[in-house]
Amino acid sequence: MQYKIPRGTQDILPEQSRRWQYIEQKAHDLCKRYNYQEIRTPIFEQTELFARGVGDTTDIVQKEMYTFEDRGGRSLTLRPEGTASTVRSFVENKMHGWADQPAKLYYIGPMFRYERPQSGRMRQFVQLGVEAMGSADPAIDAEVIGLAYDFYRELGLTNLKLVINSLGDTQSRTKHREALINHFKPRIEEFCVDCQSRLEKNPLRILDCKVDSEHELMSSAPSILDYLNEDSITYFSKVQKFLDDMEIDYVVDATLVRGLDYYNNTAFEIMIDGEGFGAITTLTGGGRYNGLVEEIGGPTTPGIGFALSLERLLMALEAQGIELPVTSGLDAYLVTMGDEAKQVAPKLLHQLRKQGLTVDGDYMDKKMKAQMKAANRQNASYVLILGEDELNQNSVMVKTMASGEQELVPLDNLVQKIKS
What is the binding site for ligand HAM (CB under 6 A)?
Answer: 81-83, 113, 115, 120-122, 125, 127, 129, 131, 259-260, 282-287, 305-309, 311-312
Report, in Å, the least distance between residue 184 CB and ligand HAM: 24
In sequence order, the β-bridge partners of residue 406 are 399
**H/E segment holding residue 304:** strand 303-309
Smaller CB distance to ligand HAM: residue 120 or 361? 120
Smaller CB distance to ligand HAM: residue 280 or 324? 280
Report, in Å, the least distance between residue 130 CB and ligand HAM: 7
Q: Determine the 3-state secondary structure of 320 from DSSP.
A: coil
Q: How many residues does the chain have?
A: 420
Which letter, b or e, does each residue of 55-67 get, where b requires 16 or more Cβ atoms within 10 Å of its Cβ?
bebbbbbeebbee
ω into 138 cis (within 30 of 0): no
Report, in Å, the least distance between residue 11 CB and ligand HAM: 16
- Distant-in-sequence, close-in-space partners of 355: CB < 8 Å, separation ≥ 6: 415
Q: What is the dihedral of CA 408, 410, 413, 416, to 10 degrees?
A: 30
Q: Look up residue 264 and give its amino acid.
A: N
Q: What share of the chain is helix, strand, coil (3-state, %, to 5)?
A: 40, 25, 35
Distance CA 151, CA 247 (A): 15
Distance CA 221, CA 255 (A): 9
Report, in Å, the least distance between residue 285 CB and ligand HAM: 3
Report, in Å, the least distance between residue 136 CB and ligand HAM: 15
Distance CA 215, CA 63 (A): 23
- Put the strands of the sheet holding 359-361 in their side by side order: 359-361, 330-336, 380-386, 395-400, 406-410
Smaller CB distance to ligand HAM: residue 296 or 418? 296
Which residue spans within 82-193 are E strands per DSSP? 103-112, 124-133, 160-166
Smaller CB distance to ligand HAM: residue 83 or 336? 83
Check residue 118 and report its DSSP letter. B
Report, in Å, the least distance between residue 398 CB and ligand HAM: 48
Smaller CB distance to ligand HAM: residue 314 or 401? 314
- Distant-in-sequence, close-in-space partners of 361: CB < 8 Å, separation ≥ 6: 333, 334, 335, 336, 345, 349
Smaller CB distance to ligand HAM: residue 83 or 172? 83
Which letter, b or e, does each residue of 130-158 get, where b requires 16 or more Cβ atoms within 10 Å of its Cβ?
bbbbbbebbebbbbbbbbbbebbeebebe
Check residue 98 and report its DSSP letter. S
Smaller CB distance to ligand HAM: residue 110 or 387? 110
Smaller CB distance to ligand HAM: residue 60 or 380? 60
Report, in Å, the least distance between residue 289 CB and ligand HAM: 6
Smaller CB distance to ligand HAM: residue 157 or 308? 308
Distance CA 250, CA 252 (A): 7
Report, in Å, the least distance between residue 147 CB and ligand HAM: 12
Smaller CB distance to ligand HAM: residue 265 or 371? 265
Report, in Å, the least distance between residue 112 CB and ligand HAM: 9
Report, in Å, the least distance between residue 58 CB and ligand HAM: 9
